[in-house]
């Protein structure tokens, strides 16, 4: 199929792009990598009045280290993150996880800002933003604002972004050397969206768990932090019994749905299994 007719604009600044979004009063869509948007348009699942192409905006793709924060331009391609020395040095979990994103052609075009704005609950990057406690900088008609990971996602493909706001930068605190981390994912085929995925960051104080962060993909309407499992680890440590208890609490906390790929019960079971695997891998790094 072909998409419905639409207007096309290619602004050269984010301010101009925001103005176009206002002009179309919610009926325009942003084009970054287009790896999800264009197929949806071809199947006429969405029929925007206009596309606002962000690819002509200069200097919107970068990776910079700034006083303990890794700043990533929203138009940075997944492939650039995969091979970035700064990401490998300061956010090795992101390096590991980005390799699970789709296939090479999609990673070569898809952008970090586009993935987060789409907010697909089975995608890896929303999960990574949660577990790494990142934030996004959004440009709107009244300037910029920072949206924390805990506030960005609101439901299936729904975010806190206003219709006339654009993610222009993604920020992650760099990982301390005193952490363990892992991502575990199950998909039908390599490169498919996750049926279930778990990412883990463990901060150590000696042999104890000072802080635990666990986040999901594929097992609910949006990525969430597994707060009950985190509390279990912070209170009981990282022995096998505590990990098993945390995995059970992780499975209890998620609210997956049944679809063509898996039942809700199977996704809940996978959540527990993957949580246990990820925690043991993270523990082995200490």
pLDDT tens column, 219-270: 999 999 999 999 999 999 899 999 999 999 999 999 999 999 999 999 999 9
pLDDT, residue 82, reads: 96
Domain boundaries, the chain: 7-53, 63-173, 180-284
Reported CATH class of domain 63-173: alpha beta
pLDDT, residue 189, reads: 85
Task: Using pLDDT thresholds of 50, 70 and 90, give the confidence band for residue 191.
Answer: confident
Residues 6+ away with beta carbon under 8 Å from 83: none
Query: Residues 133-151: pLDDT tens digits?
Result: 999 999 999 999 999 999 9
Backbone angles phi, psi at 153, to 5 degrees: -95, 135
Query: Residues 52-94: pLDDT tens digits?
Result: 999 999 999 999 999 999 999 999 999 999 999 999 999 999 9
Query: Residues 157-186: pLDDT tens digits?
Result: 999 999 999 999 999 999 998 899 999 999
pLDDT, residue 255, reads: 95
User: How many Cα atoms sit within 13 Å of 243 on the Cβ side?
Assistant: 18
Query: Residues 84-137: pLDDT tens digits?
Result: 999 999 999 999 999 999 888 889 899 999 999 999 999 999 999 999 999 999
CATH 1.10.760.10 fits 7-53, yes or no: no
Tokens 């290619």 sit on residue? 10
Tell the CATH topology of 180-284: Enolase-like; domain 1 (3.30.390)
The residue with greater pLDDT, 23 or 192, is: 23
Of the candidates 71, 161, 60, the residue with the CA atom closest to the CA atom of residue 117: 161
Bridge partners, residue 7, by sequence: 50
Query: Residues 8-62: pLDDT tens digits?
Result: 999 999 999 999 999 999 999 999 999 999 999 999 999 999 999 999 999 999 9
pLDDT, residue 193, reads: 85
pLDDT, residue 187, reads: 93
In whole angstroms, what separates CA 185 from the centre of its chain?
Answer: 14
Residues 6+ away with beta carbon under 8 Å from 138: 144, 145, 146, 147, 161, 165, 166, 167, 168
Backbone angles phi, psi at 217, to 5 degrees: -150, 145
Beta strands in 112-219 (DSSP E): 135-140, 143-148, 153-155, 158-159, 166-173, 179-186, 196-205, 208-217
pTM score, whole prediction: 0.95
Query: Residues 196-225: pLDDT tens digits?
Result: 999 999 999 877 899 999 999 999 999 999
């Amino acid at each position: 199929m072909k998409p419905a007719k639409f207007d096309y604009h290619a602004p050269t600044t984010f301010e101009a792009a925001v103005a176009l979004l206002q002009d179309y009063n919610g009926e325009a869509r942003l084009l970054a990598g287009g790896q999800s948007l264009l197929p949806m348009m071809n199947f006429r699942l969405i029929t925007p009045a206009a596309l606002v192409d962000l690819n002509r905006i200069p200097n919107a793709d970068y990776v910079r280290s700034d006083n303990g924060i890794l700043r990533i331009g929203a138009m940075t391609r997944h492939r650039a993150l995969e091979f970035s020395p700064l990401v490998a040095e300061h956010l090795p979990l992101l390096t590991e996880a980005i390799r699970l994103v789709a296939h090479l052609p999609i990673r070569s075009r898809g952008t970090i800002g586009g993935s987060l704005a789409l907010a697909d609950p089975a995608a890896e990057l929303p999960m990574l933003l949660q577990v790494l406690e990142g934030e996004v900088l959004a440009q709107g008609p009244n300037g910029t604002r920072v949206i924390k990971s805990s506030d960005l996602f609101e439901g299936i493909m729904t975010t806190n972004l206003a219709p006339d706001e654009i993610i222009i930068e993604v920020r992650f605190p760099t990982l301390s050397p005193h952490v363990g981390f892992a991502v575990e994912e199950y998909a039908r085929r390599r490169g498919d969206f996750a049926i279930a995925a778990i990412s883990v960051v463990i901060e150590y104080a000696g042999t104890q768990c000072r802080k635990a962060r666990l986040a999901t993909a594929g097992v609910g309407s949006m990525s969430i932090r597994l707060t009950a499992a985190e509390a279990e680890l912070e209170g009981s440590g990282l022995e096998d019994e505590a990990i098993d208890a945390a995995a059970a609490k992780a499975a209890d906390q998620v609210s997956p749905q049944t679809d063509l790929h898996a039942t809700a019960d199977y996704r809940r079971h996978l959540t527990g299994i993957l949580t246990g695997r990820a925690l043991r891998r993270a523990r082995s790094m200490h």
